[in-house]
Each structure stands twice: as structure tokens, then as C-alpha cells.
Structure 1
Amino acid sequence: MENKCDLEMNDSESAQNSKNNPSAEVSKRRKIWDEFLEQDDEFLEQDDEFLEPPLEERKIDPELLHDEITRLVLRNGLPLRFVEYDEFRDLMSYLCPGFDHIDINTLMKDVQKLYDKECEKIKDLLKSSVERVSLSTELWTSITCEVYMSFTAHYIDKDWVLHKKLLGFCIVPAPHTNEDICDCITKMLVDWGIENKLFSITVDSAESNDLFVELLKNNLNLKNALLCNGELFHNHSCAHILNLIVQDTLKWIDNSIQLIRESVKYVEGSEGGKSRFFESCKQMGIPTDTGLHRDVSTRWISTYHMLESALFYQRAFLNLQLMDSNYKDCPSTEEWLKIEKIVKCLKPFNDVATMLSCLKYPTSNLNFLYAWMIHKYLLDEISSEDCFMKKVAEDMKKKYDKYWSDNNLILAIAMVFDPRYKFSFVKWVFSELSVNGSKAHEMFSHVKSNLSRFFQEYENMVDVGGPSNNDDGAVGVEPYWAVMV
């Protein structure tokens, strides 16, 4: 208490002296400031050894710098001549005065060196940390009639994260026979060291693809490299099947699509067209913030969105036809009705395509659900009283049945492992989709027996451990069905 009182008294006396002698107070404060600056200078002198050296004294790792420049060029799609730009060289001379400038030839060597380094990393990863790899391939022909093929590996790491790596992109040598394509894939598998780790291959739905995949499957089975003799080896691309079905469906309204395409071009092709369209929307009380969408004729999703947006402005287009004598591409009322039916029909396909393209985690368990929903929708449309949609649905189902029959096994197995559905949902779906009850039971039994085979193969490869349920000490399969029912 006494110390506190003394401090308060000293403070009050100091404040009183400051009022009586302001010049003394200024001198006192200046002295304190000078002492602080002296201490700061001493601190900086003591810490000079910890400060970073001047730029010209830093040691630069030329190899690391070459790698970073190479990554800069590749990741940003810069031209190779970028390293010879005067501005880039001036910048490098300022940052690294002793650095030897890079030319195009050096950069090309650096690109190859970096590619080889990254390939070795992926090879080591696939060899040491990945049990099974699924492969997807695509084939297409250039305008010069050269056939190209890409190989993409899909795998799940030890943390259950989905990855995909583009392993190869090459020209398939003429005459492009099934044997040539099979040899090309086999060479790629050997080069990456995954010829004995392949689980499945996904290709577009085409007869030529089916032939070379069957040949590849037979070759791998000779080496005993596939699980269950490749029962689930060959899969068709769901996205490609959807594309084929939708493209054929859009042909039912080809003329209407062309009219919508020209209508959108008319509106967005000039300021006058936009202003007249906005005025038509205003008269109809339709908001203009939704906007129209142009399409790319080879991408059905863009066409779907174009039709969907045009339907929103249907009354505005009909009114524009009355307002503007130059606008002559408005669909008729009957054509608008067909467009509306087709858009409604394609909505499930758009939802599935969006789901498949946007997610970065395994979706095999969802594919069966969406495939069933589309199959069920087509069955409902076939039984409807609308003659137009009945014909459309029958045509769609013919193509969809091939995908469903070829892929329902692997999709059903993936669904069994989803704790929300399991065996009971798969059994119910088969019963809903099959007119014949015995056929549904046969399909369900096929799924269960194949899942049992797969489990037994993995059981033979891995020491599961734990208490044995059989006389021979092996862990039986039956206890595991209890959690899958």
C-alpha cells in the first residue's frame, strides 16, 4: 500500500512539475527517446548475422531453378519461346545475376527430364502403395485419319482418396486392328509395371472396343493376372452410353432445336435484337436475369441447357414474333410442346451426368441407384398414354438395356457395400425391373455368388486374421453376409 501510495504521489508530483516547468519535461522525454534509439541500433548490430544475405550473395541451385521454370511454362500453357523473351531474361538477370539464360532447346530437355522424374514417382507409387488399378481408355481419329489412344489409371490410396493419372497418350499404328490396340495397351501396362494389378477397364460402347478388350482379357488370364478370370474386367462408360442415348433422342426434335439455336443467335447477335427481346420480356412480365444459353452441337448437356433456358422464355419468343417482323425462327406451339416433353425426359440424364462429372470421390455405389432410376423412368414412359413420348422411350430403352445388362453386376456389387442399401435394396430393384419373378431371383443370385467368389479370392491373397469359423481355420464368407443384408 505504501509503495502504491508513493508511486501515486510521485506521479502527481511529476505531473505538477511538468505544469510548472514544461521545458524540463520536454528535455526529459527527448533523453528517453535518444536512449531508446541507441538500444535499437545495438540490437540491429547484434542481429546482423541472422539477416538474409544480399540477393547477389545467395546461392542458387541451377537444377531446382530449371525445374521451377519448366513447371511455370507447363502449368500455365506458356510457349516454349517464353524463356527467350527479353523481359523474362531481364528479370532473371536482376534476380540471379550469375544465372545462365535458357534457350528453347535447353527447355525441351528440361521438360523431358521433369517428365521422366515424375514418371518414376508414379511408377514407385503404383508399385508400392496401390493394390489394384482400374484403367479407362479413349480412342478417336484426327482430321488426318490418325488414331490416338489415351490411358488413364484410377486408384484409391491408403487414405481412401480417389486418384487418377494420365499414363499415356499415343498414336495407334496402322492398320488399327484389334491386335494392334491390344499390343499398345499391353506395352503400356508393362512399362508402368501394373500388368498384374489391373482390376477393370472402362471403354466406350462400341463393337470394336468390345473385341480388343476381349482379346486383352484372354491375354491377361493366361498370366493369371485378373480376379475371378476377369468377370468384372470389361465395363462400358456410363457417360458414353448417356451421350449415345441422348443424342439419338434429340433427333426426334432436330428441326425444333435448329429453330431454337437460330432464335438464340438472333437475340444475342446484335444490340437491336437484345433490346427488342428485353422489351418483349418486359411486356410478358418475365425476368431477364436467367438469360439464354448457346449450345455446342457435339455436347448434349449444352443443348439441354439451351432448350431449358428457351422454354423459360417461350412466351417472350412468341411475343417477339409479333413485335419484330425480322424474327422468323420461332417454333410453333406444337414444337414448343415437344421441346417441353423432351427436356423433361432428359432431366434425369442431366442429373446423372452432372453427378458423374463433378465428384472427386468414388461413385460406383451411386451408379446403380441412378441407373435404376433412369430404367424405371423409361418403363413408366413406355406405359404412358402419350404416343410421342412412348415411341421416344421405347427407342431409348433399346440402347439402355445393353448398358444395364452388361454392367448391372458390378454396379450391384458396389451398391451392396453401401451401408444405406446393401443386399435388400438390390433384391428389391431387380424385382421392380423384372416382369418375371424367376428372372429377378436369378439376377440377384448371380450378384451374390460373384461377390462370394471375389471375397474368397481376396481372402486367399490376404491374411485376414481373427477367429476362424471353419474347421480348416479359414475365415468363412457367410458371417459377412449378415452385415450386407
Structure 2
Amino acid sequence: MCKCKFSYKTSTSNLKKHINKRHPTITLKSTITASESDTHIYRSKTDNGESMESAVDNHPSTSKQTQIACQANAPIRITQTKVDSFSNILQTKISARQKNKIDRKLLYLCVKDLQPFSIVADTGFREFVAALNPSYQLPERRIISKTLIPALYEECLTNTKNLISTGKTFCVTTDGWTSTNNTNTSYVAVTAHFLNKEFNLISVLLECSAFEKGHTAENLAAFLLKAATKWDIQDKIVFAVSDNAANIQKALQLVRWKNMGCVAHTLNLIVKDGLKNERITLILEKVREIVRYFKKSTISNNKLLRYQENTGIETPLKVILDVATRWNSTYYMLERFIRLEEAIKSTVAIIDKELPVINVEEWNIIKELCLVLKPFEDASRALSGDTY
């Protein structure tokens, strides 16, 4: 090693730069075993290949300046003014590439988990990030919304266009729905499907936006054609799938796309028609009234949960209320109702509320109804996926 001498007052920057530049083979090994021990070991190799260790003592010095000598055949002993000096000099700033990688993970957090951009200003989150990597500086909320997200959007848009450009022919699916909040906003979505060279099914959401116009066939046709033209696939669509509503069926005829009603939606219509049986309708209304009461009454619901806990159930279940537009939610309601049969019977018996009485025969009908609906539920679940 060299015989250079360095002086320092408050830091060891000169020593660190010298070691990194002139002696890159030297690595730092901590030998601190207690608060009294403050020694580090440098390991390196001499010109003849022999291993050499140099000790570094970090105990405070009484002198303002300490001369440091690097000698070839003797241990190097360094006395420092601070115990954590070497931890400070080893802490380096992250590269631009590393920061960009972490920034993208932050954007993924916001986009994937629907986290607000303001999370970067939250004290707890900032401390959490600092604990993971003190060198990383979180971007400001304004930078995220004005710079990072728009840049990521453009990148995603370009990649998606390139992906779609590889498709030769497409099938599109479309559906509409209304939000359940107070705005009652209507939405329409269009998804394109195609096979890549490896014969894998690729699905890309082309459009999902609020639909403020009337749901006429003409307006829907204009919306569909605009979405297809935006992605330059209007002449490559060979088939379209939608529900069986008259307006969307006519809209597909107007844009001259061959179409077929959704099988899952057809199953939904079949089952809903079957549930219109008068006897079944009366039983379902009884079940719904009981379920609504438990969902409305916190006290009664707690009694229902407590009964399950007292019978050894580790994870008590709550009742489920169905949705009128989805028959499978009726199946889920009845299936849960059967699982909670004993708990419901026992709880209803002790609460001060007149609720419908479900007799033994009606309980049997509910159980048989679930057996009939189960295959339809399995089929609907399979058909509702995008990998069948």
C-alpha cells in the first residue's frame, strides 16, 4: 500500500476518496461487538498475493487533527472523532436510474391500489419510505400529477397501440352500467380481444367512459365506432358480443358488426325467469326481509355473530342481500342463509322483532333451490372470465 498521509478535522472524506480510487480491493469489515468496541478491519491483498488486514480504531481522539499513515507492512490505525463516521461516508446517493425505478413503483402504487397522490405528503408514509431507503427523495404531489403520471400514460398508450397493431382480426365485447352512488352516472366500456403469434388470447380495454347521451341505438353505434376508429381497428372487427338489450343489438347492426348475445347474460335471463315462480317469490321475500333486518340492526347482527362464536366458529359470517339485476347474488344470499340456518333461527327467537317465520318445508325448498342454481352459477363464473 502507499505511504500517503491525510489530515482531517470533522470528516473522513479525503480518506474515503483515496481508498476508493487507489485501493478499490479494500473492503470494510465491522468488528464491533459491544459499545466499548469501535474497531473496523480493512482486508486487501499485497503485491505477492498475501492477505493483509488493517485495523481502524474509531474511538474519539483528544487531538483536533490526526495524521493517518498508510504503510505497506503495518496495520493502519485510525482514530476518529465520531463513532458513526464510516456509516456516514458509506451512505451514497442513489443513481438516476434507481430513482426512476422507485418512482415507477410509487406510480404503480397509486394506479393499482387507487391511492391518492397526496400519500407522498403523509408523515407516516414518508417515514416508512425513509426507513426503507434514506437516500430516496419522494416526488411532490404536483410532480406526480403534472409530470410523472402523464408521462406514464403516454408510455402505456404507445405500448398498447403497438400491441394492438400486431392483431390481424378482433372480437369486441361491450357493456354498460350505472354507478350506485348518488350521481347515477352511466358508463359504457368496449374491450378488444385477439390472438397473438403464440395463439394466446390478448384482451385490451379500448374505452370506458361516462355516457351522458340517451342510450339510443344511434348514440351507442356512434360511441362504438369512435372507440374502434381511435385504435384503428374499425375494419378488423369480425365479431361483437353484448347483452340482449334491443338498443345495443340494433347499434351493432348499424355499425355492421356481426354480433351474438352474451351467453352468461342469456343464462342470467333464464334463471331470473325461473325465479318468478309464485311460491319461490314468496319465500325469497321472507328471506330478504330477515336479511335486511340483520343488516340494518347492529345489535341483532352482533347477536348473530356472537352465537356463531359461542358455537366454535372462528370466523363468524354475516348475511348477504341480493341485487335485483343479478340472479347470482340471489344464489349467494340463499347459500349464506343456509350456512347460517341454526344461527338465524336461534337469534330470531331471542330478538324483540316480529320477523317472517320460515317453516321446515320452506327451508327445504331453499336448500333444493340452491342445488338447482349451483350449476348455473358455476357456468356463469366460467363464462365471465377472459381465459376460456
TM-score under structure 2 normalisation? 0.62
1:145-178 residue CA offsets vs partner (Å, 9 max, x unmatched): 5432111122232223223222211233524432
Relative distance call for 1:126 and 1:102 in structure 2 (3 A) is same
Relative distance call for 1:91 and 1:343 in structure 2 (3 A) is closer
Relative distance call for 1:207 and 1:114 in structure 2 (3 A) is same
Tell me the CA shift for residue 93 of structure 1. 7.0
Match of 2:211 among 166, 172, 184: 172
User: Does 1:56 find its partner at 2:92?
Assistant: yes
Corresponding residue for 1:151? 190
What is the DSSP-based 3-state SS (H/G/I as helix, E as strand, rest coil) of the residue aligned with 2:209? strand
CA–CA separation in structure 1 for the residues paired with 2:282 and 2:52: 82
Corresponding residue for 2:161? 123
Relative distance call for 1:331 and 1:112 in structure 2 (3 A) is same
CA–CA separation in structure 2 for the residues paired with 1:354 and 1:98: 44
CA–CA separation in structure 1 for the residues paired with 2:237 and 2:177: 23
Corresponding residue for 1:139? 176
Would the aligned equivalents of 1:260 and 1:330 in 2 still touch at CA under 8 Å? Answer: no
Would the aligned equivalents of 1:204 and 1:240 in 2 still touch at CA under 8 Å? Answer: yes
Corresponding residue for 1:79? 116
Instruction: Give the 5 Å matches for 1:324-335.
Output: 328-335=355-362
Relative distance call for 1:320 and 1:93 in structure 2 (3 A) is closer
Would the aligned equivalents of 1:173 and 1:180 in 2 still touch at CA under 8 Å? Answer: no
What is the DSSP-based 3-state SS (H/G/I as helix, E as strand, rest coil) of the residue aligned with 1:119? helix
User: Does 1:361 find its partner at 2:376?
Assistant: no
Q: Which has the higher helix share?
A: 1
Relative distance call for 1:311 and 1:185 in structure 2 (3 A) is same
**Which runs of 5 or more residues in structure 2 are unaligned?**
1-42, 55-88
Relative distance call for 1:237 and 1:191 in structure 2 (3 A) is same
Would the aligned equivalents of 1:318 and 1:330 in 2 still touch at CA under 8 Å? Answer: no
Which moves more between the two structures, 262-271 or 151-160? 262-271
What is the DSSP-based 3-state SS (H/G/I as helix, E as strand, rest coil) of the residue aligned with 2:275? helix
Relative distance call for 1:324 and 1:81 in structure 2 (3 A) is closer
Identity %: 23
**Partner amino acid for 1:78?**
Q
**Partner amino acid for 2:96?**
I
Would the aligned equivalents of 2:243 and 2:262 in 1 still touch at CA under 8 Å? Answer: yes
CA–CA separation in structure 2 for the residues paired with 1:315 and 1:84: 50
CA–CA separation in structure 1 for the residues paired with 2:121 and 2:361: 62
RMSD across aligned C-alpha pairs, in angstroms? 4.0
CA–CA separation in structure 2 for the residues paired with 1:145 and 1:185: 22
User: Does 1:185 find its partner at 2:197?
Assistant: no
Instruction: Give the 5 Å matches for 1:51-450.
Output: 54-61=90-97, 63-89=100-126, 95=133, 99=137, 101-104=139-142, 106-128=144-166, 130-142=167-179, 143-144=182-183, 146-217=185-256, 233-252=258-277, 253-263=280-290, 266=294, 269-273=300-304, 294-298=319-323, 299-311=326-338, 328-357=355-384, 361-362=387-388
Q: Which has the higher strand share?
A: 2
Would the aligned equivalents of 2:193 and 2:202 in 1 still touch at CA under 8 Å? Answer: yes
What is the DSSP-based 3-state SS (H/G/I as helix, E as strand, rest coil) of the residue aligned with 2:51? helix
What is the DSSP-based 3-state SS (H/G/I as helix, E as strand, rest coil) of the residue aligned with 2:197? coil
CA–CA separation in structure 1 for the residues paired with 2:204 and 2:191: 6
CA–CA separation in structure 2 for the residues paired with 1:342 and 1:99: 59
Tell me the CA shift for residue 278 of structure 1. 8.4
CA–CA separation in structure 2 for the residues paired with 1:236 and 1:356: 13
What is the DSSP-based 3-state SS (H/G/I as helix, E as strand, rest coil) of the residue aligned with 2:208? strand
Relative distance call for 1:309 and 1:98 in structure 2 (3 A) is closer
**Which runs of 5 or more residues in structure 1 are unaligned?**
1-34, 43-52, 218-229, 363-485
Relative distance call for 1:314 and 1:72 in structure 2 (3 A) is closer
Would the aligned equivalents of 2:172 and 2:241 in 1 still touch at CA under 8 Å? Answer: yes
CA–CA separation in structure 2 for the residues paired with 1:135 and 1:102: 40
Relative distance call for 1:160 and 1:98 in structure 2 (3 A) is closer
